[in-house]
Amino acid sequence: MSILVSALIIGLIGLVVGTFRTRFRSRSRRSARPAVDPWVRDSFVPAAYGLVPREVLDAGRAGPAQPLHRLKEMQAVADSAWSGDWRPAAAYVAAAGDDWDERWSRTEVLQQIAGDDDAWLEAWRSEQPDNGDAATLHASMLLHRAWEIRGSEYAHKVPAERMNQFQAMLPQSMTAAVDASRIDPRNPGPWVVMITAARALSYSHNQFRALWAGLTARAPYHYSGHWQALQYWCGKWHGSDRLMLDFARLAVERAPAGSPMAGMYLHALRELDGRGGTGGARARKSRELLERVAWSLGQVAPDNEALPRLRHLLAHYLLEARSHDAALEQFRLIGRWCGAHPWNESDDPVAAFDHARGLAAKGAKRQAHDKGTATMPL
C-alpha cells in the first residue's frame, strides 16, 4: 500500500486526537450562498492585512501536511504489521516514552492500521502478554468496534438490534482496559478507554469522577482524555451545558504552557452550536476567556496535531465575539488552509473562510498590517 493511501487511512484519525467520537451534528447546513458584506465583496484586499491571496486558499486540509519523514515512518510500521511483523509497531508506540499525548496518538495510528487486519496485534499479545501497549490497543480496538456497530446517531435513531449489540460489547472493552491498566500502571491510555466506555455505560457522576481521578493522576493534561470527559459532561450525554462549560473553563485555567488543552473551551462552544446553535451567543459573553485561549494556544508548538483545527474554531468564535483584531491574527496564522469546521459546513468552504477573514479585517482596529504575512507554512 502506498504512502499516499496509508496517509489517507491515518488521516481518518483526525487532528483533534481521540477515538469513538460521536460526529458533530449541525442543526442545519449553512447556506450555500450566505449574505455577503458589501465591503468584503468590493474592498477587502487580503494582502493588505497580512493574509494569503484568495487564489491559494485550499479546502483540502485544515493545515499543512505532516512531514514526509513521519508519513514514511507510519508507512513502514503499517507495511511491517500487514506482513505479520508486530515489532516495528511495538517500537513505534514505545518510542513516545512518557509523552502521553504522543503515545496515545501513536496508539490511534496503530488502531487504524489494525482496523482491517489485526492478526499482527493478536500475535503481539500472544508473544508479549504483559506488554501494556498491546493490551491498551486491544482494549481500544474492542471499544472502537462496539462504537462502529452503534454508529454516530443519537440513541433514539439507532436500531434496537445494533444498540443491544453495542451495549453487550461495552463491558468487555471496560474489562480489557482495566486489565491493561494493571499491566502498565503508569500509562494513562487504558484510562482514556475507560472514561470513554463509562460514557456509553452510563456511569454515574461519582463513578465517572473516580475514573477521571485515575486518569489525571497519571496525566493531568491529557488532551484526548479531556475531550472524552467533555463529552461525558455535555448535555447530550450525562451532564448539562453548565457542567460542560465549567469543565472547559477549568481546562483553560489549568492548561500548562505548550499544551493545546485550552482548546476544550472551543469544543464546548461547538457542542452548544451543534445542539442548540448557542455557541456564538456564549462566545459573545466570553471575549476575555477566548482571548486567554488564544494566548494559551500561542504557546503550543506549531507542529502540534491539534493546533490547526483549534485555530479555525478560535478564529470563528473570536469573530463571533467581535474580537476582530484577535480573529484576524488567527486567520494570519492559519494561512491558506480552510478544510475545517466551521467553513466546511458550507457548500463553498473557501468562500465562507474568505468572507469570515474579510469581516475580521473590516472590524480590526488596525486597517492594515505592516508586519508581512506571518502565516502557517504553505
**Residue 162: pLDDT band with limits 50, 70, 90:** confident
CA angle, 259 then 265 then 268, to 5°: 135
**What cell numbers appear for 142 in the block?**
474492542
Mean pLDDT for 212-217 is 98
Are the CB atoms for 336 and 56 separated by under 8 Å? yes
pLDDT tens digits for 92-111? Answer: 999 999 999 999 999 999 99
Q: Which residues pair with 337 in a beta bridge?
A: 58
Mean pLDDT for 250-263 is 97
Identify the DSSP state of 9. Answer: H
What's the pLDDT score for residue 332?
Answer: 97
Query: For residue 231, what are the contacts with CB-CB under 8 A and spacing of at least 6?
Result: 21, 22, 199, 237
What's the pLDDT score for residue 34?
Answer: 59
Residue appearing with cell numbers 450525562: 238
For residue 92, which of 101, 105, 117 has the smallest C-alpha distance? 105
**What cell numbers appear for 293 in the block?**
485561549
For residue 62, which of 96, 116, 15 has the smallest C-alpha distance? 15
Mean pLDDT for the chain overall? 88
Query: For residue 37, what are the contacts with CB-CB under 8 A and spacing of at least 6?
Result: 355, 358, 359, 362
pLDDT tens digits for 306-340? Answer: 999 999 999 999 999 999 999 999 999 999 999 99
Identify the DSSP state of 121. Answer: H
pTM: 0.88
What's the pLDDT score for residue 366?
Answer: 54
Residue 37 phi, psi (nearest 5):
-65, 130
Mean pLDDT for 107-134 is 96
More confident site: 350 or 156: 350
